[in-house]
Amino acid sequence: MCETTPEEILQGNSHGLVDYEPKLGLEFDSDENALNFYNEYARRVGFSVRREYVNTNKKLGYVTSRKITCYKEGFRRNDKQKEQVKKSRRETRTGCQAHIIVTRQSMGKYRITKVELEHNHSLVPSTMVHMLPSHRKINEVQAHEIDLAEDAGLFSKATFDFMSLQAGGRVNLGYTKLDQKNYLRTKRQKAMRQGEAGVLLECFEKKRIDDPSFFSAVQLDVDDMITNIFWADSKMKIDYETFGDVLSFDTTYQTNREHRPLASFVGLNNHRKMVVFGGALMYDETSESFQRLFETFFKAMFGKKPITIFTDQDAAISKAISLVMPEVHHRLCVWHMEQNATKHLNQIYKRYASFRGDFRRCIYVYVDEDEFINAWNSMLDE
């Protein structure tokens, strides 16, 4: 009697009714099939999986062995710049030892050569397991709706909130806001790879012929795909040298079809007119990307840093600033403060007719600290 293979079990249990535990000697046609099998087992049991390491035959280009672990394996590595971070991330790992190791055999099959099933943490109930990292996914219908919303000019947050409402709550949606953001980022990167990058780089080359001091830099991710693009011409450099003590960094200019943020470094000249110090197309808005962008900007500006920088209230930007320029005074833009107040204090705006005027005077009019504190307390009392 022929023994059922893991691939046949998965194909015959599309709804996850897998009662097959990983065991020594179990074989797969590929290491990817082994990953899918262990992930399906994890979904049924109540945990998430993570790729721990992979060894490859560099000469022939195939995987020789792979370790797949519970997502709570190990502990987060200590960050060398940890003391500069204002708010550290919560530790989510527990040093769990549950894992499998698959090794390629001489006939090309991948066999489980080591397995540990025990966990040192509580498992997730079946009603919530779909929200664990390796089980979250955007299906084809959801991806189509996200694409339509983006083409219509809707911001990703509004799209996520609407789709959550349709699904009966975020917990039923099957993916997080970060998953949606990563999906759009990957889509934009692919679009950039399919022709836009060449046109943009050709434009930069022409600029460099006319302006030898023109500076540009392209940031790549681990897959060698373009994530962020920065540029500054000679006039921007001269203006920054003269007027760069106060710098404003803004990523709210999302005016093109794909809503790729156009980040701008701007300031004021001696006539109180806006001057541009540099620009960037942001395909990835993580703290690491902002950190590299700031480092690139200062490289273009010969290392000069501002005394004060104004930004919106973004955690990723704040973290990058604390790492790249901890000595610079970081302040929040008052326009963004007012926008946040309108968003979060909408009921107070409706209830008190005088609140808008009182709040605007506090953030725009009062310069003296005592005057501000008195006006702010008076507004709160009222």
What would the mean pLDDT of 182-187 be, rounded to a whole number?
72
Tokens matching residue 279 = 């620009």
Answer whether 0.75 is exceeded by the pTM: no
Return the residue matching tokens 């500069």.
84
Q: Among 55-59, 82-86, 128-132, 237-241, which is the least confidently predicted range? A: 82-86
Greater confidence (101 vs 202) lies with 101
Q: What pLDDT, on the 0 to 100 scale, is given for residue 14?
A: 41
d(C-alpha 202, C-alpha 213), whole Å: 16
d(C-alpha 54, C-alpha 35), whole Å: 12
d(C-alpha 351, C-alpha 349), whole Å: 6
d(C-alpha 218, C-alpha 231), whole Å: 9
Q: What pLDDT, on the 0 to 100 scale, is given for residue 163?
A: 78
Greater confidence (253 vs 255) lies with 253
* Residue type at position 307: I
Residue 239 contacts residue 246 (beta carbons within 8 Å): no
User: Is the confidence at residue 267, as pLDDT, over 90?
Assistant: yes
pLDDT digits (tens, 9 = 90+) for 346-355: 889 888 889 9
What would the mean pLDDT of 74-103 be, rounded to a whole number?
73
What would the mean pLDDT of 249-253 be, rounded to a whole number?
77
Helix axes 177-191 and 156-167, enclosed angle (nearest 10)? 130
Band (pLDDT 50/70/90 cuts) for residue 257 is very low
Report the percent of the chain where pLDDT is more than 70: 81
Residues facing residue 103 across a β-bridge: 65, 111
Residue 51 contacts residue 73 (beta carbons within 8 Å): no
d(C-alpha 326, C-alpha 324), whole Å: 6
Average pLDDT of the chain, as a whole number:
82
Helix axes 287-300 and 315-324, enclosed angle (nearest 10)? 50
Q: What pLDDT, on the 0 to 100 scale, is given for residue 256?
A: 45
Band (pLDDT 50/70/90 cuts) for residue 182 is confident
Contacts for 265 with CB less than 8 Å, ≥ 6 apart: 232, 240, 247, 248, 249, 276, 277, 278, 279, 297
Band (pLDDT 50/70/90 cuts) for residue 321 is very high
User: Is the confidence at residue 79, as pLDDT, over 80?
Assistant: no
What would the mean pLDDT of 311-337 be, rounded to a whole number?
90
pLDDT digits (tens, 9 = 90+) for 9-27: 555 444 444 457 899 999 9
Tokens matching residue 249 = 């960094």
User: Is the confidence at residue 308, as pLDDT, over 70?
Assistant: yes
Tokens matching residue 2 = 């022929």
Q: What pLDDT, on the 0 to 100 scale, is given for residue 286?
A: 81
Tokens matching residue 53 = 């390491």
Q: What pLDDT, on the 0 to 100 scale, is given for residue 16?
A: 42
Q: Among 57-66, 140-149, 336-345, which is the least confidently predicted range? A: 140-149
